[in-house]
Structure 1
Amino acid sequence: MEKYKEKFLFFNAQVDKHLSNYPIICDLEKKTNVPKTYMAGGVVAFVFMLIFFNVWGELLSDIIGWLYPAYASFKAIESPEKTDEMAEFFSDFILYWVPFYFPSKTVFFLWLFLPPFKGAQIIYQKFLGPTLKAYESVIDKNLKNLKDKIEDATKEATKNIIDSTKSEHLE
């Protein structure tokens, strides 16, 4: 049991360190006294429940399992810093339930990286690179706008929660 506790504490510290890079999450933690990792866990659990009960399930699973990783891979490839790392969070858990996932994945990966086939090069040069290059500025602009709107909404919601909590305690 102690081994699992150590692993959990290590993972928790890593997530906390990563979340510390986002000022809005740090502000939210200070204002609510709820640890960042608990908030992140709550969001993950909420998204999982939405997917599980099929409330925006298709959209969320496409974003998590395909759209975001594809765009993040593009950004990492095109980045001048080749130290960018990609993290897989829950894709293995989700994809475990797909029939013949591992055999299909193996064949696909063999096609991608075996020199005679040059699958990765084909996909990037013919489809992914040109398509994303054409829309990169639009995608970046929309992602920034979305991020700004989410931050504004989160700040407003946090302010409303804090204000309502203060007014309840004053009464």
Structure 2
Amino acid sequence: MGLMGTISRHLDALIGPGVMLLYPLYASMRAIESPTPLDDQQWLTYWMLYSLITLFELSCWKLLQWFPLWPYMKLVFCLWLVLPIFNGAAYIHENYVRKYVKIGSYVSPGYTEEQRKVLQMMTLDARKSVEQYIEKYGPEAFARVIKVAQKEVRKQQAR
């Protein structure tokens, strides 16, 4: 077996840093510079999951040293998370994180009930823009915008 046996036994140590750190680092830098938020979601979710895996490893290292397949399982899972053909991190975000974790749904009680409902339906970026608009023009201007939007919705429904 010689050289091939040694390489296969240490495959996780040879490929792991490139797959789990170097490529995600490069892709994250590209995502920061790109105009679309879709790749940001992929890479932020990847780093969150990688951090959880690392925390798990640090917490359970005595148990994991008795499980010889762990490094290979971690490598395969990280390949699934990272490779663009799978986009596993984005899949986990869409199917689990977004469904069960409701971060950012809090809206200040300083708004009317109607305004809070509208703000809760928006993405965080849109909400920031609306809150800046409210700071600049006041809550009455936002109320007028909501009324105009409601009239347009009623017109569309009447057709």
Query: When the two structures are superposed, what TM-score results if normalisation uses the length of structure 2?
Result: 0.28
Query: When the two structures are superposed, what TM-score results if normalisation uses the length of structure 1?
Result: 0.27
